[in-house]
A and B are shown apart, each in its own frame.
Chain A
Amino acid sequence: MIANMVQALNHALDLTMKQDENVVLLGEDVGVDGGVFRVSDGLIQKYGQARVIDTPLAESGIVGAAIGMAVYGLRPVAEIQFMGFVYPAFNQIVSHLSRMRNRSRGRFQLPVVLRMPYGAGVRALELHSESTEALFCHIPGLKVVVPSNPYDAKGLLIAAIRTDDPVIFLEPKRLYRAGRQEIPEEDYAIPLGSAKIVREGERLTIICWGAMVAQVQKAAERVEDDGIFPEIIDMRTVSPLDHETIIQSVKNTGRAIVVHEAPKTCGLGAEIAALINERALLSLEAPVLRITGQDIIVPLPKREDYYYPTPERIVRGIKKTMEF
Chain B
Amino acid sequence: MTVSIDNYDPLKGDMFQIVNEKGEVRTDLEPSLSEEDLREIFRFMVTTRVADTKALKLQRQGRMGTFAQSLGHEACQIGSAYALAKEDWVVPYFRDLGTYIVLEYPLRQWFLYWMGNEKGGNIPKELNLYTITVPVGSQLPQAVGLGMAINIKKGKAAVLSTFSDGATSEGDFHEAMNFAGVYRTPNVFLCYNNQYAISMPRAKQTASQTLAQKAIAYGFQGILVDGNDVLAVYAATKEALLKAKKGGGPTLIEAYTYRMSNHTTSDDALKYRTEEEVKEWAKRDPVDRFRIYLGKKGLWNDEIEAKIVKEAETFVDKEVQEAEKTPPLSAEELFIHVYADMPLKLKEQLEELKTEVQENGQ
* Residues of A contacting B121 in the complex (Cβ-Cβ under 8 angstroms): 103-105
Contact residues of B between 152 and 201, Cβ < 8 Å to A: 152-153, 155, 171-172, 175-176, 178-179, 182-183
Q: B264 near A: Cβ within 8 Å?
A: no
In the assembled complex, the CB of A55 is this many whole angstroms from the nearest CB of chain B, namely 7
Contact B175 A64 (CB under 8 A): yes
Q: B203 near A: Cβ within 8 Å?
A: no
Contact A51 B178 (CB under 8 A): no
Contact A107 B125 (CB under 8 A): yes
* Residues of B contacting A95 in the complex (Cβ-Cβ under 8 angstroms): 134-135, 138
Residues A56 and B148 in contact in the complex (CB < 8 Å), given A104-B122, A105-B119: no
Residues A164 and B340 in contact in the complex (CB < 8 Å), given A68-B148, A96-B138: yes
Contact B145 A101 (CB under 8 A): no
Q: B312 near A: Cβ within 8 Å?
A: no
Number of interface residues of B (CB under 8 A): 46
Residues A69 and B345 in contact in the complex (CB < 8 Å), given A104-B123, A165-B339: no
In the assembled complex, the CB of A44 is this many whole angstroms from the nearest CB of chain B, namely 14
Q: A188 near B: Cβ within 8 Å?
A: no
Contact A92 B141 (CB under 8 A): yes
Q: B59 near A: Cβ within 8 Å?
A: no
Contact A96 B337 (CB under 8 A): no
Contact A140 B338 (CB under 8 A): yes
Contact A71 B340 (CB under 8 A): no
Contact B153 A240 (CB under 8 A): no
Contact B142 A67 (CB under 8 A): yes
Contact B149 A68 (CB under 8 A): yes
Docked CA distance A67–B91 (Å): 13
Residues A74 and B175 in contact in the complex (CB < 8 Å), given A105-B119, A193-B343: no
Q: How many A-B residue pairs have CB under 8 A?
A: 138
* Residues of A contacting B150 in the complex (Cβ-Cβ under 8 angstroms): 72
In the assembled complex, the CB of A24 is this many whole angstroms from the nearest CB of chain B, namely 6
Contact B118 A61 (CB under 8 A): no
* Residues of B contacting A92 in the complex (Cβ-Cβ under 8 angstroms): 138, 141-142, 172
Contact A243 B344 (CB under 8 A): yes
Please name the residue on chain B nearest to A95 by beta carbon: B135
Please encode chain A, from 232 to 258, with 1 for each CB lying within 8 Å of some chain B CB and 0 for all others: 000000001101100000000000000
Contact A105 B145 (CB under 8 A): no
* Residues of B contacting A50 in the complex (Cβ-Cβ under 8 angstroms): 151-152
Contact A64 B182 (CB under 8 A): no
Interface of A is mostly: mixed
Docked CA distance A163–B134 (Å): 27
Contact B141 A60 (CB under 8 A): yes
Contact A65 B118 (CB under 8 A): no
* Residues of B contacting A60 in the complex (Cβ-Cβ under 8 angstroms): 138, 141, 171-172, 175
In the assembled complex, the CB of B93 is this many whole angstroms from the nearest CB of chain A, namely 14
Q: A223 near B: Cβ within 8 Å?
A: no
* Residues of B contacting A70 in the complex (Cβ-Cβ under 8 angstroms): 145
Q: A108 near B: Cβ within 8 Å?
A: yes
Docked CA distance A58–B171 (Å): 10
In the assembled complex, the CB of B37 is this many whole angstroms from the nearest CB of chain A, namely 29
- Chain B CB count within 10 A is highest, among A64, A163, A241, for A64
Contact residues of B between 131 and 150, Cβ < 8 Å to A: 131-135, 138, 140-150
Q: A106 near B: Cβ within 8 Å?
A: yes
Contact residues of B between 330 and 352, Cβ < 8 Å to A: 336-340, 343-346
Docked CA distance A165–B346 (Å): 15
Docked CA distance A302–B176 (Å): 39
In the assembled complex, the CB of B110 is this many whole angstroms from the nearest CB of chain A, namely 14
Residues A65 and B142 in contact in the complex (CB < 8 Å), given A103-B131, A105-B122: yes
Contact A109 B340 (CB under 8 A): yes
* Cross-chain contact of A73 among B151, B153, B178, B346 (Cβ < 8 A): B153
In the assembled complex, the CB of A60 is this many whole angstroms from the nearest CB of chain B, namely 5
* Residues of A contacting B155 in the complex (Cβ-Cβ under 8 angstroms): 72
Docked CA distance A104–B113 (Å): 11
Contact B337 A105 (CB under 8 A): yes
Contact A61 B175 (CB under 8 A): yes
* Residues of A contacting B339 in the complex (Cβ-Cβ under 8 angstroms): 101, 141, 143, 165
Docked CA distance A164–B338 (Å): 11
In the assembled complex, the CB of B75 is this many whole angstroms from the nearest CB of chain A, namely 27
Contact B337 A68 (CB under 8 A): no
Contact A67 B145 (CB under 8 A): yes
Q: Which 10 A-B pairs have the closest CB atoms?
A: A68-B145, A64-B141, A61-B175, A72-B149, A65-B145, A240-B343, A68-B142, A105-B122, A68-B146, A164-B340
* Chain A interface (Cβ < 8 Å from any Cβ of B): 24, 50-51, 53, 55-56, 58, 60-61, 63-74, 76, 88, 91-92, 95-96, 100-109, 140-141, 143, 163-165, 193, 240-241, 243-244
Given contacts A64-B142, A73-B153, A104-B122, could you give 20 more A-B pairs where the C-beta distance is less than 8 Å? A56-B175, A56-B182, A60-B141, A64-B144, A64-B175, A65-B141, A68-B143, A68-B145, A68-B149, A69-B149, A69-B152, A101-B337, A101-B339, A102-B337, A103-B131, A103-B132, A105-B118, A105-B122, A143-B339, A240-B345
20 A-B contacts (beta carbon < 8 Å): A53-B148, A58-B175, A58-B179, A64-B141, A65-B179, A67-B145, A68-B142, A69-B148, A70-B145, A71-B130, A71-B146, A71-B149, A73-B153, A95-B138, A101-B338, A101-B339, A107-B122, A163-B340, A193-B343, A240-B344
